[in-house]
Chain A
């Protein structure tokens, strides 16, 4: 899509608009004034820099002077307009500007999708870049491998599977940036509303979106911690998210672990309830990523850099809760997610009904953060090994370093004035109260009583 005015001309969806995304709300607050957004981001970054993250002082300062006043004071001591101009300067010598970027219509892809209507690709010189909707993960993978698309929204385990040649031909892929943390949930049919424990899921039929997904790995982990063997005690079916909700409604399945907005959609359709947010299994777990082939990185280094910058920029923009409502409006239309704005807002703001009659307020229900921790890759690989997807000896660190480009991401974050994690990209993570040490993956694997490999 090149003509934005056409996009906003579209009238509201008629008919059963109650269950369909309406077009009217696609007037994009963000698109109208891209420079204001960038300007605001730079100002924020400068404020951050000056107060070094001491939020209280910063907020107090702004409260007293008002944002405009505060900026005027700071402009005296910091060349803020120069910084704005610098951030607005698109990269040069791009091998290609009109990229095709594939996505699956789910909230995980929020930064990749919104970067189109909100102008992040254009800002970084990628004029004419389009986001193309795929119907399923296998399709996105095939598009990416056969180069029908330049970059893709993938589940974080997918590039690891592609690079190691599990479940497909071996094609080296990289993850320059993660998209979202959290933002998934286990949803059960309303008839199971009294259940609270993993052990009670024994004998159920549950859907997963893809084998090489964080969903599959987290569900298996959760079940196994509750003493349920995911290969023997439950039936796991690979099903597209939309079909998950339809199947739940028809009571063909007992539940699913799915991406948003389909978990919330199940509540909206009065079919199920949110049994467990993945946020409560592993707080700030990785989910989806921005991915491209290593070949793309080497053949088009400047274009890759520009796309990388655009994604980091958009992902950090999505981190801020005050932008979330605008983002919901931008990505709800038929061209993108094709979902009711209301549902998307419930997901992005973290204020949502859980299907059991409670309104919940969990701001971190979904978060966006670009930094790809290498330790997360190691965790994913240990679980792929645990459930028998990966066979033989695995050089965890080597694969993690090859696929998760954390050093490069750190550079870009700093370059764009965003705070980046300092120190090693190998961190310890705590999943359901159990610590994972990336330095000892084999020891970690051996500690699980239920495992295949």
Chain B
């Protein structure tokens, strides 16, 4: 990076100061409240779980790595299915302005609904909590990608499409060689938002449905009123969320193109 080294250092220092300040306030609060766990207590609890990540104590008690894997598997499956459907629909809508305009109000409305709100309906229709949790992730990842894809495709420079027509490309070739690459960055931006909202939705979905995963862990520890474990789970959820987001930023960087 071209940033001067002292500025870079300053940035890190500031970040550390914020962290220390936060821990200090937290520790003070824990001291005064007596029942709220201190940072040290959370650290001890975290170590307990982190030191046995693949522990298996039965169907209701699994190590944190196994639970994270459950959540990630659910996330990936629901997200992949949601994304494929969203991109397909998005391309169709993006290429057909009338259809896009007609359906856009509905898409905007559906986008605004929390995926968790669908849960009772989904559970009632599919009658299986595993599938319901998967469908919540599916719903969460659908709308942002759909909206972005349609927007990206409808804003592709007319020149590109004209050239494709002149070259007499078949429709499928046109989609693969021109449309998707041209709308790529917008689509990836949509995917990133989708992934974020899917990750946000998965925790309450698992907690409400009792499906194994990080959400289940939060609920199981809350049932024991163990706040230290709940805080540990919150940290894990945050860290995994940041890692996923980073992965997508890298992907987006790889897909950027110059006119």
Q: Which residues of A contact B (CB under 8 A)?
A: 1, 3, 6-7, 10-11, 13-16, 19-21, 23, 105, 130-135, 139, 142-143, 145-146, 148, 240-242, 245-246, 249, 265, 269, 333-336, 338-339
Contacting pair B229 A242 (CB below 8 A): no
Cβ contacts A to B, 12 pairs, < 8 Å: A1-B56, A7-B57, A7-B58, A10-B52, A14-B44, A15-B48, A16-B226, A131-B59, A132-B59, A334-B61, A334-B220, A338-B224
The residues of A that contact B59 with a CB separation of less than 8 Å are 1, 130-133, 335
Q: Which of B56, B58, B59, B128 has the most CB of A within 10 A?
A: B58
Q: Which residues of B contact A (CB under 8 A)?
A: 35, 37, 41-48, 52, 55-61, 123, 127-129, 207-210, 219-229
The residues of B that contact A338 with a CB separation of less than 8 Å are 220-221, 223-224
The residues of B that contact A335 with a CB separation of less than 8 Å are 57-61
The residues of B that contact A16 with a CB separation of less than 8 Å are 37, 41, 44-45, 226-228
CB distance from A225 to the nearest CB of B (A): 32
Contacting pair B58 A130 (CB below 8 A): yes
Contacting pair A20 B128 (CB below 8 A): no
> What's the Cα separation between A210 and B221 when bound, in Å?
21
Contact of A6 among B57, B123, B129 (CB under 8 A): B57
The residues of B that contact A130 with a CB separation of less than 8 Å are 58-59
Contacting pair B228 A15 (CB below 8 A): yes
Contacting pair A1 B58 (CB below 8 A): yes
Contacting pair B129 A265 (CB below 8 A): no
> What's the Cα separation between A23 and B229 when bound, in Å?
15
Contact of A246 among B60, B208, B225 (CB under 8 A): B225
Q: Known: A142-B123, A335-B57, A338-B224. Is A14-B48 also a contact (CB below 8 A)? A: yes
* Chain B, Cβ-Cβ closest to A135: B210
Q: How many A-B residue pairs have CB under 8 A?
A: 107
Contacting pair B129 A334 (CB below 8 A): no
* Chain B, Cβ-Cβ closest to A249: B35
Contact of A19 among B56, B60, B224 (CB under 8 A): B224
Contacting pair A269 B225 (CB below 8 A): yes
Contacting pair A19 B225 (CB below 8 A): yes
Contact of A15 among B47, B208, B224 (CB under 8 A): B47
Contacting pair A336 B60 (CB below 8 A): yes
Nearest 10 Cβ contacts at the A-B interface: A1-B58, A15-B45, A15-B44, A335-B61, A146-B127, A335-B58, A14-B48, A133-B60, A334-B61, A242-B223
CB distance from A154 to the nearest CB of B (A): 15
CB distance from A358 to the nearest CB of B (A): 23
The residues of B that contact A3 with a CB separation of less than 8 Å are 56
The residues of A that contact B220 with a CB separation of less than 8 Å are 133, 334, 338
> What's the Cα separation between A265 and B226 when bound, in Å?
12
Contacting pair A19 B226 (CB below 8 A): yes
CB distance from B72 to the nearest CB of A (A): 21
Contacting pair B128 A148 (CB below 8 A): yes
Q: Which of A265, A269, A335 has the most CB of B within 10 A?
A: A335
The residues of A that contact B221 with a CB separation of less than 8 Å are 20, 338
The residues of B that contact A21 with a CB separation of less than 8 Å are 224
> What's the Cα separation between A105 and B58 when bound, in Å?
14
The residues of B that contact A334 with a CB separation of less than 8 Å are 57, 60-61, 220, 224
The residues of B that contact A6 with a CB separation of less than 8 Å are 56-57
> What's the Cα separation between A130 and B58 when bound, in Å?
8
CB distance from B115 to the nearest CB of A (A): 18
> What's the Cα separation between A417 and B169 when bound, in Å?
83
The residues of B that contact A134 with a CB separation of less than 8 Å are 210
Contacting pair B129 A139 (CB below 8 A): yes
CB distance from A152 to the nearest CB of B (A): 13
* Chain B, Cβ-Cβ closest to A245: B225
Contacting pair A15 B57 (CB below 8 A): no
* Chain B, Cβ-Cβ closest to A12: B48
> What's the Cα separation between A283 and B106 when bound, in Å?
58
Q: Which of A6, A135, A336 has the most CB of B within 10 A?
A: A135
Q: Which of A6, A11, A14 has the most CB of B within 10 A?
A: A14
